[in-house]
Amino acid sequence: MRREFVTVDVFADRRFGGNPLAVVLNADGLSPDEMQAIAGEFNLSETTFVLPPADAAHTAAVRIFTPRAELPFAGHPNVGTAFALGRRGSVFGRALGETIVFEEKAGLVPLEFLREGADILGARLTAPQPLARGAEIGGDIVAQACSLAADDIETRHHAPCIASCGTAFLFAELKTRRALAAAHPRAEVFAREFPVGGATGLHLYVRDGAGGVDIRARMFAPLAGVPEDPATGSANVALAGLLASLRPEADVRLRLRIVQGVEMGRPSLLDADAEKQGGQVVTMHIGGRCVPVMSGTIDI
């Protein structure tokens, strides 16, 4: 059977920036092994597969694969898949409205389109699960895993810790942009120490404030076949929730402009926000622009 696919650069306003994504638009009938093989063939950080929803009230079921494993939820695949479907205007014979809902292993993912007039420029998602804080992890593991000194890790705001709103990551704040730029994943440390607290990915960030940017970030997940990711929506949306949870106010709306992928030559810009009410984070969003790149077919 001929399967149609497109590729999209996500969290970018120009081609060959941001995080590339492959979207298989008519994946019904593919087995998980076939999806994994196709994701390995594309060899991008993620490939998505669009399937009919189990509930007709929803837009589609979406499965997400790295080159090595399936994910329950990921950010740039949702944003890019929504953008790809929005440009087509319909899916499974049904026209799309201003908001859509994807069924995923982590739960339901609502999305809204970002528009300029009649043109769809991108999408913005709502995290499928509440913020979950996990264990604190020793800074020595973080330092070894990313080729840094323990003194490079900032612990005034929080110790390195696990957090998730659908997919777990180990989060560590660094003290300087120099340390962030110098970070380099060590595969042997990841193989020895990860998964840790349910997380296979390590998300490093530094507070910035220059040029309208709040956060600069990098994410390493070599065990998932992603040595470094140009833009990680699922990590950065959880990061927004984590930072909101650490604020002293009982009620706060935190908005963040996050840059990632610069060190890879694929600069990405993500707009994240989290709202805390009564001391609890109640909602988290992340979104950005997308650019179409390629289209084609797979015979399988």
Radius of gyration of the CA atoms of the chain, in A: 18
At residue 209, the pLDDT reads: 85
pLDDT at 254: 98
> Do 180 and 259 reside in the same domain of the chain?
yes
138 with 20, same domain: the answer is no
Which structural domain, as residue segments, surrounds residue 169? 132-286
- Note the pLDDT of residue 222: 96
pLDDT values of the chain reduced to their tens digit, one per residue, 300 residues? 999 999 999 999 999 999 999 999 999 999 999 999 999 999 999 999 999 999 999 999 999 999 999 999 999 999 999 999 999 999 999 999 999 999 999 999 999 999 999 999 999 999 999 999 999 999 999 999 999 999 999 999 999 999 999 999 999 999 999 999 999 999 999 999 999 999 999 999 999 988 899 999 999 999 999 999 999 999 999 999 999 999 999 999 999 999 999 999 999 999 999 999 999 999 999 999 999 999 999 998
**Cα separations (Å) of 257 from 111, 128, 172?**
19, 21, 18
The reply to whether 92 and 10 lie within a common domain is yes
For the chain, the residue count is 300
Residue 89 and residue 210 in one domain: no
Question: Do 113 and 172 reside in the same domain of the chain?
Answer: no
Q: What is the CATH classification number for the domain harbouring 47?
A: 3.10.310.10
Clarify whether residues 154 and 107 are in a common domain. Answer: no
- Residues 46 and 203: their CA atoms lie apart, in Å, by 17
Tally of structural domains, the chain: 2
Question: Do 161 and 115 fall within a single domain?
Answer: no
Q: Do 116 and 146 lie in a common domain?
A: no
Identified catalytic residue from 4, 34, 41, 46 = 46
Same domain? 201 vs 229: yes
Is residue 137 located within the same domain as residue 258? yes
**120 and 156 share a domain?**
no
With beta carbons less than 8 A apart as the criterion, state whether 75 and 237 touch.
yes
63 and 186 part of one domain: no
Q: Check if 46 is active-site.
A: yes
- What is the per-residue pLDDT for 30? 98
The residues near 143 (Cβ < 8 Å, ≥ 6 apart) are 149, 150, 152, 153
Q: What is the pLDDT of residue 155?
A: 97
Q: pLDDT value at position 119?
A: 95
pTM of the model: 0.96
* Contact residues for 127 (Cβ-Cβ < 8 A; gap 6+): 109, 165, 166, 237, 238, 241, 283, 284, 285, 286
- The confidence score (pLDDT) of residue 210 equals 86
